[in-house]
Amino acid sequence: MQVNQTIIIYATSVLIFAGCTTLDPKKQLSAPGDGVIVGEASKFRHIVPAGDLENAAIKEFEKIKSKAKERKELADGENLTLKKLIKISKKLEPHTVAWNPSSINWNWEVILIKSDSLNAFCFPGGKIAFFSGIIDRLKLSDDEIAMIMGHEMAHALREHARARIAKAQITDLGADLLSAVIGLGKSERRLIGFGRQLLGLKFSRSDETDADLVGLDIAARGGFNPQAGLSLWKKMKNANTGSPPEWLSTHPSGSNRISEISKNLPRVIPLYEKSRKSIN
């Protein structure tokens, strides 16, 4: 006997949103209130347990590190570019908690993979990877690196991957979805599935705009010039000749991104100036 899929979707949605109404407000995504303004995070993300997704991300990240090390592509602690990335991340990390209170428990980590690829990402739980190509080939300044790092951090803080995977599970109506919603176990199976989904994940245009603006806000609070958001995307647009760079394949570009950043500069420049004064 087959179960009507529409009924399952409806019943699952009721369970999800009923659960959302009783969530601990301290664990809800927030915003500082004095910088950029973004919409509410997707409630669908609550289908996927945050802890399970973060554990899956850690395991997948360790696999990536291991493979890079085997190929002698993983930068060691003496690498000057890696030291720069870590220094930038340390300036941004204090400003992440205001966007996601749970991030206070994240073990932030940055790695550098030696590759011509124009790519960077941040997995749930604060696991960041940069490919040397995006820094070297685009001749990025520290401010521009901070814009990319802030953008990738924002994807994790705003739980975009969690929401995208949750929506995919609703569509698939698989056993993993039901396990996540009503607690039927099979946690290892979920972790494997989450890990695979993270590798091929593509965010929506609204996710990208969200990450652009939140990343801009975080970078400005960390003391990095938000004007670099404009120069970064101009470089990315210029690099997008012929086949698009890998980073652009999952990060749609266009004049509208530059326009949105320009509109929000008046909101973040005061944050940058305040940060620079406190440093000096």
Residue 27 located in a structural domain: no
Catalytic residue IDs: 152
Residue 159 located in a structural domain: yes
Amino acid (one-letter) located at 242: G
Residue 180 located in a structural domain: yes
Residue 13 located in a structural domain: no
Q: Where does the pLDDT of residue 130 fall: very low under 50, low under 70, confident under 90, or very high at 90 and above?
A: very high
Residue 23 located in a structural domain: no
Residue 2 located in a structural domain: no
Q: How far apart are CA 280 and CA 126, in angstroms?
A: 29
Across the range 156-171, mean pLDDT stands at: 82
Domain count of the chain?
Answer: 1
Detail the DSSP E strand segments found in the chain: 109-113, 120-123, 127-131
**Is residue 272 pLDDT above 80, yes or no?**
yes
The secondary structure of residue 254, as a DSSP letter, is -
User: Domain residues for 160?
Assistant: 46-279
Tell which wins on pLDDT, 89 or 163.
89
Q: Return the percentage of the chain with pLDDT > 90, whole number.
A: 51
Residue 141 located in a structural domain: yes
Residue 231 located in a structural domain: yes
Tell me, what's the pLDDT at 164?
Answer: 85
Backbone φ, ψ for residue 214 (5° rounding): -65, -40
Q: How many CB atoms are located within 10 Å of the residue 162 CB? A: 24
Across the range 227-233, mean pLDDT stands at: 94
